[in-house]
Amino acid sequence: MLARRVPAFVMAEDFPSARLPASPVALSGERVTFTGVLASMTHAQAAELVQQHGGEATDHVSRQLTMLVVGEEGWPLEDDGRISRKLQEVLDWQGRGVPIRVVQESDFLRMLGLSEQPEEVRRLHTPAMLSQILQVPVYIIRSWERAGLIRAVRRVHRLPYFDFQEVSSARRLSELLQAGVPRAEIERSLQALTRVIGRERRPLEQLDLLVRDHRLLIRDAHGLRDPRGQRLLDWERDTDAPDQPGAGDADHHPISISFLAARQQALEMERRDWFVEGCRHADEGDLLAAIEAFRLALMMEPLNPEVHFHLGDVLYRLGRTHAALERYFAAVELDHDYLEAWTQIGALQRELGDAEGALDAFRVALDIHENYADVRFQMAETLAELGRTEEAIPHWEAYLELEQRGPWAELARQRLSSAAAASSPPSLSPV
């Protein structure tokens, strides 16, 4: 059984500008049920909203049902890749002429006059936010973007922001494929959902990207190339060549190639190709090969902050924290406004026990982008570790204004609650 995350809920009172309709009978005569994971609240709280607006909420599908609301956190697909049982039952009733409406979560909220709620459903998230909410490593989020699986909606000083719904969809499709569900079954379900709900075909594109073989390689007299003609580093040829010095030694490095050979191959490839190769190796978990490729990219373009940043990421994944920290510093030396690099500098300094250095890095990041939620949280945590809780409180509060969901949000609420309890005067016992 694939694990499903229960979303943090957001109610109307969390949005001062949200307005309920003047009449409490907006859903009068409606019998409503829900399917899929709601992005804005739990099913139980959605049922309460139905009742507050004159409707009747039910957990079952029957001839008496008038509305099925489809949650917008991912797609309502079962663990076998088929559309949810409730949606299938509704389609069956519709086929018999029963007029049951199928509406999306955001449309349902608009019916209730929660004008600000759909914006929350589509709130944008940084890679770190998504990593916390979806429990997916940050480097996986970045690799999905590079592969075209997800698209950044906007960028602030190199920092990408993603639409949560699209990323959640990609994760759900990835889970199903990894669980062995046939692509054909998932595709049939997505096509049915697209017809019923009228949403775009983007999830079908995501599915295609997840299963397509992008790395069909061709070996010719000059080495390896992909179908588009891009030259690739031929690790196998270099390590297995009989005239390679030390090729048969027991302690021979598996990806070692001579500097001259590396330089020659680097000259034959475009500078961006090496960066792409490094990212590909990093995505595939071949971190040593990724380091070699990124270093070759730096031979061609030593002043590219993005290459330094990605090399830092790979070094950190290998546990080489100090070396990673130096690469992040190189990135911000070349691009002072590189937000994610400053964030990583702060996080690594905090990890290495340099709390003051971490705070300095976080302050720089906030000077560049004051609404950077990730840094607000890390700043608060670092201050709390130093015993400076009063200074931490505004940062936890600022974080919750920017991000209401996920483990960090829950932890921030707990921190604020504990701080409030600690500052409350003790009650006097009667004499």
Question: Residue 354 pLDDT more than 90?
Answer: yes
Question: Residue 222 pLDDT more than 80?
Answer: no
The pLDDT value recorded for residue 25 is 72
Contact 144, 155 (CB under 8 A): no
The pLDDT value recorded for residue 175 is 82
DSSP secondary structure string for all residues of 103-161: EEHHHHHHHTT-TTHHHHHT-EE-HHHHHHHHT--HHHHHHHHHTTSS-EEEEETTEEE
Model confidence over 187-217: pLDDT tens digits? Answer: 888 888 877 776 567 788 888 877 764 443 3
The pLDDT value recorded for residue 223 is 52
Model confidence over 233-275: pLDDT tens digits? Answer: 444 444 444 444 343 343 344 444 455 555 555 555 555 588 8
The proportion of the chain whose per-residue pLDDT surpasses 70, expressed as a percent, equals: 75
Instruction: Identify the H or E element spanning 313.
Output: helix 305-317
Question: Residue 325 pLDDT more than 80?
Answer: yes
Of 23-27, 93-97, 256-260, the range with the highest mean pLDDT is: 93-97
The pLDDT value recorded for residue 199 is 59
Q: What is the mean pLDDT of residues 146-175?
A: 83
Length of the chain: 431
| Cβ neighbours of residue 346 closer than 8 Å, sequence gap 6 or more | 357, 358, 359, 360, 361, 362, 365, 375, 378, 379, 382
**pLDDT higher for 19 or 171?**
171
pLDDT band (50, 70, 90) for residue 404: confident
Output the pTM of the full model.
0.63
Token digits of residue 132: 């916390």
**Parallel, antiparallel or unpaired: strands 67-70 and 124-125:** unpaired
What does the alpha-carbon distance between residue 98 and residue 92 come to, in Å, rounded to a whole number?
9
The pLDDT value recorded for residue 379 is 96
C-alpha R_g of the chain: 26
Question: Residue 286 pLDDT more than 60?
Answer: yes
Contact 162, 150 (CB under 8 A): yes
Beta bridge partners of 159: 156
pLDDT band (50, 70, 90) for residue 355: very high
The pLDDT value recorded for residue 259 is 53
